[in-house]
């Protein structure tokens, strides 16, 4: 499973990228706002660091304007994936931009039917939002599974990008289900390394070597 990092914070992207943990980046208008940076400037800086797909989201709601914004975002770098919302206009923009050879990430997907439309419109990625479905007492992981089944039934090559990931269990389950990509905040990616038995075992090893009075260096 590919790992995308869901942030526009340059230092966090750089740190994870240096460890080989970053296959791509996703941003959205809320993350841009949180960064306090200009959308074009910060997206360019991210593209200079990461060679994989960097999703940058349009802010227009009408297809022609989305296409114009998408073309402008695509000028930033070759690895831009233009993010459009899963609306009828967004699907029109997806088709037009995909036909031009641009990577497109169709975002804010909350149903299998929406995911089917994204695939038919030529999306490179579809982003089902797990956490936001869980927030309203639905099961976001069920949606990932249903999309996987239906895409496989018909051989759609749109990649399932599990998004709105809040927990390490979301990552585990997305991988077991077969999501192609997951995007998560840096904190969740770092939490994947944690296990209480690792901490307990390490503490015992350190105590034993100290009591043995030994050092390597």
Q: Should residue 132 be labelled a site residue for ligand E4P when binding is judged by CB under 6 A?
A: yes
Q: Backbone dihedral region of 191: left (phi > 0), alpha (psi from -120 to 50 degrees) or beta?
A: alpha
Continuous H helices in the chain? 10-18, 29-35, 39-49, 63-74, 88-99, 112-120, 130-135, 140-154, 168-177, 186-191, 196-211
Four-residue CA torsion sign, 74, 77, 79, 85: negative
The contact pattern for ligand E4P, residues 178-207, with x = CB under 6 A and - = no contact, is: -----x------------------------
127: contact with ligand E4P by CB under 6 A: yes
Does 131 contact ligand E4P by CB under 6 A?
yes
Check residue 17 for interaction with ligand E4P (CB under 6 A).
no
From residue 38, give the alpha-carbon distance in Å to each of 14, 32, 57, 156, 182.
18, 7, 13, 35, 26
Q: Which is nearer to ligand E4P, 129 or 151 (CB)?
A: 129
Q: What is the closest distance, in whole angstroms, from the C-beta atom of residue 163 to ligand E4P in the complex? A: 4
Q: 72 an active-site residue?
A: no
Q: How far is the CB of 177 from ligand E4P (least distance, A)?
A: 17
The answer to whether residue 129 forms part of the interface with ligand E4P (CB under 6 A) is yes
Question: Shortest gap between Cβ of 190 and ligand E4P (angstroms)?
Answer: 16
């Amino acid at each position: 499973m590919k790992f995308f990092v869901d942030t526009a914070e340059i230092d966090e992207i750089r740190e994870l990228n240096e460890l080989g943990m970053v296959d791509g980046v996703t941003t959205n208008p809320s993350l841009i706002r949180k960064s306090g940076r200009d959308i074009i400037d910060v997206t360019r800086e991210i593209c200079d660091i990461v060679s994989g797909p960097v999703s940058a989201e349009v802010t227009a709601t009408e297809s022609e304007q989305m296409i114009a914004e998408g073309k402008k975002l695509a000028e930033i770098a070759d690895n831009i994936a233009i993010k459009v919302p899963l609306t009828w206009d967004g699907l029109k923009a997806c088709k037009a931009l995909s036909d031009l050879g641009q990577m497109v990430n169709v975002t804010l997907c909350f149903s299998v039917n929406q995911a089917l439309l994204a695939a038919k419109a030529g999306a490179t990625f579809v982003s089902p939002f797990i956490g936001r479905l869980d927030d309203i007492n639905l099961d976001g992981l069920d949606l990932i599974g249903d999309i996987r089944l239906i895409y496989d039934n018909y051989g759609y090559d749109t990649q399932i990008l599990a998004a709105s990931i809040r927990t390490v269990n979301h990552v585990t389950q997305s991988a077991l289900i077969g999501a192609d990509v997951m995007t998560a905040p840096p904190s969740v990616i770092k939490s994947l390394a944690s296990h209480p038995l690792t901490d307990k075992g390490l503490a015992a090893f350190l105590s034993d070597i100290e009591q043995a009075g030994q050092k390597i260096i």
